[in-house]
Chain A
Amino acid sequence: MDTAVVNATVDYQSMVFPYRRSPDQDSAAPVRHPVVVVGAGPVGLSLAIDLAQRGQRVVLLDNDDRLSTGSRAICFAKRTLEIFDRLGVGERMVAKGVSWNLGRVFFHDQQVYEFDLLPEHGHERPAFINLQQYYVEGYLAERAAELPLIELRWKHKVVGVETRADHARLSVETPDGTYRVDADWLIACDGSRSSVRQLIGQETHGRTFKDRFLIADVRMAADFPAERWFWFDPPFHPGQSVLLHRQPDGVWRIDFQLGWDANPDEEKKPEHIVPRVKALLAASSNPALRNAEFTLEWASVYTFSCLRMDAFRHGRVLFAGDSAHGVSPFGARGANSGVQDAENLAWKLSAVLQGTASDTLLDSYAAEREYAADENILNSTRATDFITPKSEISRIFRDAVLQLSRDHAFARTLVNSGRLSMPATLRGSALNTPDRDAFAGRMVPGAPAVDAPLRSADGRAAWLLHQLGDGFTLLLGAGPDAARIADELRAAAQGLASLTVLTLGAQGSDAAWIDAEGCVAQRYDLQPGSAVLLRPDQHVCARWRRPDGDALRAALRRSLALS
């Protein structure tokens, strides 16, 4: 085993973040802060960084002084990586993570199906990277430490919440005793067992699945491809499913379905885990793998639920990530959707704090992310029903699909080992301006912007998503009058919102950005003179064949919930 390489990396698992006393603890009256975020996991950290990058002061409280215990959420999707790019940590995550696009599905001892999650070229980021949650949290925490507007308080545990009309008052327990603090806005990113949720008397509703799964992280030096392998009913683990994934540092994630009757305390013991891993390796056709030495890194036995809070906003208290919704792990929709919650909320809360939007904009956070949660829960529930059939006939159809999928392509579309995280298209959002012109393509109002390769006027290669502004961005198809139209639209946005105008055109046009491979034209149906308006979270909110200042102002007002 290559221990030298392992030791050369920072050990994020053993990193301790010291408790520090805050001046708030010495104040007679509770100190008031504009934003308090609870929970320094991937969601709370992403939100804090995004808010700070938008000039907002954030107090971030965490009840612990360490990062994630164990690898936990390991699959970070393309859209999440694009958000991490905006937060200044995307490149680090991708450099450390294991990039993958390909998944294979096996039934018994045969491969029945493989899928490429990113069959299209012209995207900077891969469909997924696998990266242990402690790295994600560690990189985000280090980024947060660079931002003076973020005050991260480790070992500050929220033990009381009183909600008021225009703020929330928190009681916070520390090694030095309990103190009180006020927050104009309280954002709970404190996970599935959210203290804030309980303290304000709210709960989640949904389904808990009667099944148990063992997660085992094993470290081994094996030359195995960076792919997602999923077995239904393999000979080495009959009657159940198994999932194998590669993580950085030579660590492999293996999920074994155990069934409801398994004893979680027994199954967690190494003497039960090691034979399961050995059986998996022994079944491999690769001789190097059959004899691979491994050590157990971390293991956990879990059950899961698909549930959510009825409402993600309760006055001055908002919920994001697992505190608001929970899904089964099979689509990697937990942490990914949580980071997307954070991105949806950050620009809206920032606009409310700056006074450029009224607080009704935050109702759209709740509505949009409740919709996204329902989509994630639907996908996750369907995958779970396929993996863990709830009735005899459900298992019969499941096995029939798998049998047919070996020979017939149609059946492969029915195989569901997890519909992997895709960002929600917020079709019904009140912030969208309905199309008045005909457009083709998938970038409908509500869709998250997709990437495309560009070239600058001086020939430099670039990516579309990196050119988008912190505020709204207008993609303008370069035409004869582009410069005049761009000036007119910029002027129209004055006093309403910050607007970046990008003119894009084919080779030979005088656009600022050359759509070198035609991907923007194709993906956005951006013809000369057309315009697509993107929100600060990079979702499409309006588009026109012939944009004008009035239409743009109306769309911006709608997107800021001002109309």
Chain B
Amino acid sequence: MNADHALITAPHLDAPDDFYEALIDAHRGLDAAQSQALNARLVLLLANHIGSFAVLREALKAARDSA
């Protein structure tokens, strides 16, 4: 598979702990419904950033397979 069209699952975050903390912080004070809505907006923003439908399809599959 072309490297531009493969889901990156190797470590890629430049500040993993900072990101994780920020992610949890973003949900502070929100109830379950508000958190779910925020997650939905986040997924959509990140999906647009990725752009490639092939990568997104891989990500959807990986997310589902890890349950």
Interface residues of A (CB under 8 A from B): 393, 396-397, 399-401, 403-404, 408, 410-411, 414
The stretch that binds A, out of B12-20, B21-29, B33-41, B53-61, is B33-41
Asked if residues B44 and A404 are in contact (CB atoms below 8 Å), the reply is yes
Chain B residues near A411 (CB, 8 Å)? 44, 48
Task: Name the prevailing secondary structure of the A interface residues.
Answer: helix
Interface residues of B (CB under 8 A from A): 36-37, 40-41, 43-45, 48
Docked Cα-Cα span, A396 to B40, in Å, equals 7
Residue on B nearest A397 in the bound complex, by CB = B40
Docked Cα-Cα span, A411 to B36, in Å, equals 18
Of A400, A403, A404, most buried by chain B (CB within 10 Å of CB) is A400
Asked if residues B36 and A414 are in contact (CB atoms below 8 Å), the reply is no
Asked if residues A414 and B44 are in contact (CB atoms below 8 Å), the reply is yes
Docked Cα-Cα span, A396 to B39, in Å, equals 10
Asked if residues B37 and A400 are in contact (CB atoms below 8 Å), the reply is yes
Asked if residues A410 and B48 are in contact (CB atoms below 8 Å), the reply is yes
Docked Cα-Cα span, A414 to B36, in Å, equals 19
Chain A residues near B41 (CB, 8 Å)? 400, 403-404
Cβ distance A313 to chain B, nearest Cβ, rounded Å: 35
Asked if residues A396 and B44 are in contact (CB atoms below 8 Å), the reply is no
Asked if residues A404 and B37 are in contact (CB atoms below 8 Å), the reply is no
Residue on A nearest B42 in the bound complex, by CB = A400
Partner of B45, one of A393, A397, A404: A404
Beyond A399-B37, A404-B45, 6 extra complex contacts between A and B, CB < 8 Å: A397-B43, A400-B43, A401-B44, A403-B41, A404-B44, A408-B45
Can you list 26 A-B contacts (CB < 8 A)?
A393-B36, A396-B36, A396-B37, A396-B40, A397-B40, A397-B43, A397-B44, A399-B37, A399-B40, A400-B37, A400-B40, A400-B41, A400-B43, A400-B44, A401-B44, A403-B37, A403-B41, A404-B41, A404-B44, A404-B45, A408-B45, A408-B48, A410-B48, A411-B44, A411-B48, A414-B44
Cβ distance B67 to chain A, nearest Cβ, rounded Å: 14
Residue on A nearest B49 in the bound complex, by CB = A410
Cβ distance A122 to chain B, nearest Cβ, rounded Å: 31
Cβ distance A504 to chain B, nearest Cβ, rounded Å: 38
Cβ distance A391 to chain B, nearest Cβ, rounded Å: 12
Chain B residues near A400 (CB, 8 Å)? 37, 40-41, 43-44
Docked Cα-Cα span, A399 to B45, in Å, equals 14
